Structure 1
Amino acid sequence: MRALAEYIMRGRMQATLVVAGSSVLPLLFWVGAAASSLVLLRRGLSDALGILVWALFPALYICYLGEPSVLLVMLGTLVLAHVLRTTTSWIRVLMACIPLGIVFMLLANTVFAGVLESYVEVFKQALAELPAGSAGGATDEQIQNMQRVPLLPFLQGMMTFFWLSTSVLGLVLARYWQALLYNPGGFGEEFRQIRLPALLAIALLAGVLLAPALLGYAGWAVTLVCMLPLMLAGLALGHGLIAMKQLSSFWSIGLYVALLVAMNLICLLAVIDSLFDFRGRLARKSGPTNGEG
């Protein structure tokens, strides 16, 4: 990772090769988004845009073929990187995730709705051709019920979350690279300090809980967009407590397992931490006591 980051920062031509080359590879387009964001964080928006222009050509062509992820993730990562560079605040970045997620959601419901509808039709056609009992033992009636489920809003929500979360991960990688080259250990320190303001955390929790009830299936995307900042704040809380207690790396692995199996709990802990500041309380409790306990 360090060698790749050093190569990117060696010059504009090297950065352009990485960004443009990774944008044409199906599983590595997020690396190109992180590389362009690294240039933005270090050298500013003008240099990053000069490099991004060369990556836009393959991204636009891939989008024309029906896959908008490369283009949207690259642009979304740059937007978040610009917010981080101008504000130096991860809280501002998490706040910016909400309007960015709404933009992604609108694109999924309008510009790219036809692409997602084609995916749904392919899935339903494949489901209809399955003989009874082959889909995990499902009966004909169960398969028909699955076909009647409105899959399009679900897919739109999942794609919105994928675009937004991949944009955030691209920024995280870019910031990690920047710290690795110019401020070793700085990324971990600033990430562990992320703590949402109480009003923002409560508003996000309300969005998670109320969006499905108010908007039906269409609220699925809103729920996922609101969950992402809470998830990141929950991870920051976990990493912060692990570092303060000097626990082994096993606990970090357990934290991500908990994120997969108990995502709602991680989000709820982030909300509670915004109200009670667990890390601040622990720091005050474990402060110097002059040897008197």
Structure 2
Amino acid sequence: MRGRTQAIIVASTLALLSLKFPPVSVLSSASVALVTLRHGALEGVYILFGAGIAAALLGFFAIDNYQFALFYALLLWLPVWMISIILREGRRLSLAVEIAVFIGILGVAGFYLYEPDPAAMWAGLLEQMIQQTQAPIKDTKIWIDNFAHYMTGLFAAGTVFSLLFGLFLGRWWQSLLFNPGGFKQEYLALGTGPKLAISSLAILAAAFFTTGTLSEIAWNMTILLFTLYTVIGASVLHVVFSQTKMSRFAVPLFYVTLILVPQVLPPVAIVGLIDAWLDIRKKNSNQSGA
């Protein structure tokens, strides 16, 4: 993107398109991330302000609802703008990822303070969604009642994952344009320290060994931490597979498996967690060089 006007047009147009095609929202977020990472927080504010007005105008003419379009766009861009500033100033992708997850955890806690019975609220929304599909309510009632207790965490995890994907894409674009190979080095170095890992295990223990609302909150926070350690685990295993003789095929196959076989996600997350103590990448590198 050569100028401010082009960035505003791209961000606002993609945001509106994402109302019909949700994956496009990542591209919209990435465009805001790219500008903020390259030119700083103030330029990012200009893009937010200009693209917000553009999104409102497009929403007024396209869907006859400028308020919703403006609110949706700002909800999409503000978090990635904040995390992009952290990455630009801190120059550590791991820190940006950790803070994004921490914001999600605060969001879960705040939602439980705001909403007296989150599970009941989600159950009502899920029932409305299923009614629109004309599926038998009786057959799904038990599923809804169980699933609703974890919807806060799932929604927060989905939001954080989308935020991180937009940030990663924006950082990758910046790397391609101004620092070839830079994003790859940052991504492959992703990790956390033992203190955060111990805190994560404490939250998991609270989920298992407490009851009632406290247990439910802990489980929803655990879902967010699962997202964090899955991303880190993917980074660790990328390095491990890249050091094998079949790396040309092993690395792409690994990511295809992550997408198509969700059952592999828990083991990947466990790898990300234990790496805080084992430093698997360093040990594997030493063994490969021996």
Q: Given the two structures, how large is their TM-score scaled by the length of structure 1?
A: 0.78
Mapped pair 1:234 → 2:271 = no
Q: Which moved more, 1:171-180 or 1:83-92?
A: 83-92
1:88 to 86, 91, 96: 91
SS at match of 1:240: helix
In structure 2, the partner of 1:43 is: 39
* Unaligned residue ranges in structure 1 (runs of 5+): 1-7
* Alpha-carbon shift at residue 283 of structure 1 (Å): 2.2
Alpha-carbon offset, residue 207 of structure 1: 2.5
Partners of 1:244 and 1:63 lie apart in 2 by 51
Match of 2:11?
19
Q: Which amino acid aligns with 1:186?
A: G
Task: Please report how far the alpha carbon of residue 39 of structure 1 lies from its aligned counterpart in structure 2 after TM superposition.
Answer: 0.7
| Residue of structure 2 in register with 1:120 after alignment | 126
Q: Deviations over 1:46-92 (max 9, x none)?
A: 00110111233437977954996643332221121111111111221
CA RMSD in angstroms, aligned pairs only: 3.2
Code of the aligned partner of 1:29: S
Greater fraction of residues in helix? 2
- Residue 180 (structure 1) aligns with: 176
Q: CA deviation at 1:272?
A: 2.0
The answer to whether the Cα contact below 8 Å between 2:29 and 2:166 also exists between their aligned partners in 1 is yes
Matches of 2:240 and 2:14 in 1, distance apart? 36
1:190 paired with 2:186, answer: yes
Tell me how far apart the structure 2 counterparts of residues 40 and 223 of structure 1 sit (CA, whole Å): 30
Among 16, 27, 31, which residue is 1:31 paired with? 27
Equivalence map 1:46-195=2 (5 Å) = 46-57=42-53, 58=55, 65=68, 70-105=73-108, 108-109=111-112, 110=114, 119-123=125-129, 125=131, 130=135, 143-146=140-143, 149=145, 151-195=147-191
Report deviation, 1:238: 1.1
Give the direction of change, closer, same or farther, for the CA distance of 1:271–1:116 in structure 2 (3 Å limit). Answer: closer
In the alignment, residue 223 of structure 2 is paired with which amino acid?
A: L
Instruction: State whether residues 188 and 236 of structure 2, in contact with CA within 8 Å, keep that contact through their aligned partners in structure 1.
Output: yes
Structure 1 residue 210: Cα displacement:
3.0
Q: Which amino acid aligns with 2:79?
A: G
Q: 1:270 aligns with which of 266, 269, 272?
A: 272
TM-superposed CA distance for 1:19, in Å, is 0.9
**Bigger Rg, structure 1 or 2:** 1
- 1:213 to partner: Cα distance: 4.5
- Aligned partner letter, 1:268: I
Check whether the contact 1:31–1:170 (CA below 8 A) recurs between aligned residues. yes
State the partner residue of 2:224.
225
Instruction: Say if 1:198 and 1:103 are closer, same or farther in 2 by CA, change over 3 A.
Output: closer
Instruction: Output the amino acid matched with 2:216.
Output: Y
Aligned to 2:251: 252
Give every structure 1 segment of 4 or more consecutive aligned residues whose post-TM-superposition deviation is greater than 4 Å: 59-70, 106-109, 113-118, 124-127
The unaligned stretches of length 5 or more in structure 2 are 60-64
CA distance in 2, matches of 1:47, 1:66: 22
TM superposition score normalised by structure 2:
0.79
Identity %: 23
Distance change in 2, residues 1:280/1:183 (3 Å): same
Aligned residues between the structures: 269
